[in-house]
Structure 1
Amino acid sequence: MDADGFYERIGAGRFRATGATRGPWDEGAQHAGPPAALLGRAVEERAGARGDMRVARITYEILRPVPIGELTVATSVLRAGRGTEVVEAALTPAGADAPVMLARALRIRVAGEPVPAVTQGALVAPPGEVGVTPFFPVPWETGYHTSMETRFTQGAFVEPGPGTCWMRMRVPLVAGEAVRPLDRVLVAADSGNGISAVMDLRRFVFVNGDLSVHLHRYPVGEWVCVEARTSVDAGGIGLADARLHDEKGPIGRGAQSLFVAAR
């Protein structure tokens, strides 16, 4: 990989996106996965952030394509309580007067005394049992498609229908900084609509304007699995629904609202 990370930290709340963030549709725009993870990290890193809380739900509004370049991240606390808090984060390109991506996160306090753990859902075949699965053809050499390792246990990027894909970061979220469990799941979760594409990419667009991720626990290990399926109404509104796993079992869910139209 040419890049040492998806981003370089250049100051307090300021980052420079590298070519590793480049999405498959526009050479100058990022895949939404890396900026989603960057906003999630900002929620955890904000000044005064409590160490006894975890992100249980984070919802993104993707207002415009996120350009590759310098970015500023700002956070604010909307509600602070003993057991929960709501934090908002905004991502704004350098020179812009409005954010291009917003996140609102619900953090819940981790219980001081353990409670009975209950896990619903079956284990997914581990990534070591399958080979690396290539992305669909992308017209540039470097981007999200080369910065993530992908292994399908069901379906493929070039096969329509439900898909189950293990994903692993090949570079850190921020160059020179340790990868966090929340980074791993948020950088992957926005791929659900691509993993479960039900229409020909050459004939239709199916763009997500949002992403919601619910987590009952953070992933363990390097791999995150996105088990996704997409439904589309004749009116051109779709939903990509994904179960999220690590190698120990289910960790949460992701959902994307889709705008679907002929090219």
Structure 2
Amino acid sequence: MAYFEPTGDHTFRATEHTGGAWDTGTQHIAPALGLLVHAVEADRDARREDGLVVSRLSYDILGTVPVAEVDVAVEVLRAGRTIELVQATLAHGGRAVVLLRAWLLQPRDTAPLQGSALEPVAGPDEHEPWDPTTVWPGGFIASVEVRRRPIAPGRASFWVRTPVPLVAGRDVSRTAATAGLLDIANGMTVRADPRAVAFPNVDLTAHLVAEPQGEWVGFDTSVTFGATGTGLTSSVLHDRTGPIGTSSQSLTVRPG
């Protein structure tokens, strides 16, 4: 069973594997973020043949969504020969739930210039297996494999993969599949017990400098809580080749 099953050209039924961590009756938003990237790439490939690559993914999470059918719409906000800005909307029952704005850029050969000051992390084989269901409920958390190296409360490196396809019967890129795991970062190295403090994220922004390779997605993550009810989960993203980008999530911190 996949995270989503197509029910039409632009409609998808969420399966039990999308069950949420804060509320098991609603979707964990992570798979939906991947679904939107899949929709953006499918729209791109239907319109053009030059394979613009995803550079930035900026999501606003407008509310919760039940484990039910959703529909996805894509529009080009800024068309261009080498650069496009595309918006995708995930909705349920006529209500927008997630908005994605994605920058797509023309690929070029910049291998001679490749380099980064971002620190790599040890690979998944050098991290210990960890069961995230000891902290979190829900179908999505139960569907993933995690290997983790905790450093301190709110600080860890970890690797995540899943055997569950993003969309049943559809070819899905590694970029979309990776995007469908990014939102897990906020729960993998908690600063406070989620039974006592809620800290859901209201957005996620990822910048990618390479198309992800392989099934494992690596995170070097820090969680920060401020003094006035806001927080931030920041991650450097990896595949086995090294750092491939960053992601950040704005948190609303709510003591019980």
| TM-score, normalised by the number of residues in structure 2 | 0.93
Is the 8 Å Cα contact of residues 127 and 158 (structure 2) preserved in structure 1? no
What's the offset of the Cα at 1:102? Answer: 0.7
What's the offset of the Cα at 1:66? Answer: 2.1
Find the partner of 1:165 among 151, 158, 166: 158
Tell me what 2:194 maps to.
201
Is the 8 Å Cα contact of residues 152 and 165 (structure 1) preserved in structure 2? yes
Tell me what 2:51 maps to.
52
Segment of structure 1 superposing worse, 28-37 or 195-204: 195-204
Residue 237 and residue 163 in structure 1: after superposition, are their counterparts in 2 closer, same or farther (change >3 A)? same
1:123 aligns with 2:120: yes
* In 2, Cα distance between equivalents of 1:112 and 1:231: 37
Tell me what 1:222 maps to.
215
Segment of structure 1 superposing worse, 178-187 or 73-82: 178-187
* In 2, Cα distance between equivalents of 1:179 and 1:248: 21
Residue 114 and residue 160 in structure 1: after superposition, are their counterparts in 2 closer, same or farther (change >3 A)? closer
Tell me what 2:39 maps to.
42
Segment of structure 1 superposing worse, 182-191 or 201-210: 182-191
* In 2, Cα distance between equivalents of 1:195 and 1:177: 29
1:174 aligns with 2:174: no
Tell me what 1:231 maps to.
224
| Runs of 5+ consecutive residues of structure 2 not aligned to the other structure | none
Residue 114 and residue 81 in structure 1: after superposition, are their counterparts in 2 closer, same or farther (change >3 A)? farther
What's the offset of the Cα at 1:103? Answer: 0.5
1:111 aligns with 2:103: no
Tell me what 2:62 maps to.
63
Q: Which amino acid aligns with 1:241?
A: S
Tell me what 2:183 maps to.
190
* In 2, Cα distance between equivalents of 1:256 and 1:48: 31
Tell me what 1:19 maps to.
16
Residue identity (%):
37
User: What do residues 76-106 of structure 1 show as CA deviations (whole Å, max 9, x unaligned)?
Assistant: 000011221000000111xx22211110000
Greater fraction helix: 2
1:29 aligns with 2:43: no
Segment of structure 1 superposing worse, 252-261 or 45-54: 45-54
Find the partner of 1:143 among 131, 139, 143: 139
Tell me what 2:247 maps to.
254
Q: CA RMSD for the aligned pairs?
A: 1.8
Q: The residue matched to 1:37 in structure 2 has which SS? A: helix
User: What do residues 109-139 of structure 1 show as CA deviations (whole Å, max 9, x unaligned)?
Assistant: 1016755222332331111223421014368
Find the partner of 2:149 among 149, 153, 166: 153
User: What do residues 46-65 of structure 1 show as CA deviations (whole Å, max 9, x unaligned)?
Assistant: 13144431110011110011
User: What do residues 23-56 of structure 1 show as CA deviations (whole Å, max 9, x unaligned)?
Assistant: 1121221111100000011111113144431110
Q: Which amino acid aligns with 2:57?
A: I
What's the offset of the Cα at 1:6? Answer: 0.5
* In 2, Cα distance between equivalents of 1:242 and 1:38: 21
| TM-score, normalised by the number of residues in structure 1 | 0.90
* In 2, Cα distance between equivalents of 1:261 and 1:151: 28
Tell me what 2:85 maps to.
86
